[in-house]
Structure 1
Amino acid sequence: MTPFDDASGPDFGPPDPGGQPPLTMEERAGVLDDLAELEVFRTLLEPTGIKGIVVDCPDCDEEHHVDWALMQANLRQLLDEGQTGRHEPPFDPNPDDYVSWDYASGYADGVAATAEHEEPTGQQGAGRHARDD
């Protein structure tokens, strides 16, 4: 056996002490809910020309325009690593192409309510929002 056989050995340095602790089960469940909601938002809004979500960044007090794929990647990274990395924002995004999470959620709720209203009597519940469970 050589020092190179063990990736955690001295030749590769100690494990990263500054790593984030793993997400709690509640946090993981919340991120999984967000991923499911994001997919609904994308399915409903992308065909209308909406490119993604606008997020208020607490670090720089600015809005970040995050496309659907990058938002999904961020949430998956949060599940896997307990944190998200920094990503390059789109160059000169058109703010009209992005909506807030609250707007997307309200839009999805409206679509679900309309679908529920249009269902034949006695078949309610199919259009419920993911967070209603």
Structure 2
Amino acid sequence: MEERAGVLDDLAELEVFRTLLEPTGIKGIVVDCPDCDEEHHVDWALMQANLRQLLDEGQTGRHEPPFDPNPDDYVSWDYASGYADGVAATAEQEEPSGRHNAGKHAREE
């Protein structure tokens, strides 16, 4: 159940990341693969599909990586998370009511 909750959190975070970063030209997430010791560039829709498959089947299948991706079009999960936190912090500072929001996205650490 704990792993399932983590994947659900990842899906929620991914949606936030996509909403914030896709309009800036970012196409997805770059993931370090321990199996082949290479980076995989995974677009938003494929990453979402992988996470959903992990929820449904307990594992992800193999997928074809994009052909000759431009690394500048992809960011790490940590970068996307920091970006989302920065946007939330900026929104909190600009909030006219003076109330303070949590300033964090789906995964609280």
Give the aligned CA root-mean-square deviation in angstroms: 1.3
SS of 2:31's partner is strand
Counterpart in the other structure of 1:4: none
Counterpart in the other structure of 2:52: 76
Segments of structure 1 that go 5 or more residues without pairing to the other structure are 1-24
Q: Which has the higher contact order (CA 8 A, sep 6+)?
A: 2
Q: Is the 8 A contact 2:42 2:66 kept in 1?
A: yes
TM-score (normalised: structure 2): 0.95
Q: Is the 8 A contact 2:10 2:107 kept in 1?
A: no
Deviation at 1:132, TM superposition (A): 2.4
TM-score (normalised: structure 1): 0.79
Q: Could you tell me how far apart the structure 2 residues matched to 1:74 and 1:124 are?
A: 35
| 1:7-52 residue CA offsets vs partner (Å, 9 max, x unmatched) | xxxxxxxxxxxxxxxxxx0000000000000000000000000000
Structure 1 segments (4+ residues) deviating >6 Å: none
SS of 1:131's partner is coil
**Larger CA Rg, structure 1 vs 2:** 1
Deviation at 1:123, TM superposition (A): 2.0
Aligned residues with identical type, % of pairs: 93
Q: Could you tell me how far apart the structure 2 residues matched to 1:45 and 1:90 are?
A: 19
- Give the number of aligned pairs: 109
Counterpart in the other structure of 1:61: 37
Deviation at 1:131, TM superposition (A): 1.6
Deviation at 1:126, TM superposition (A): 5.8
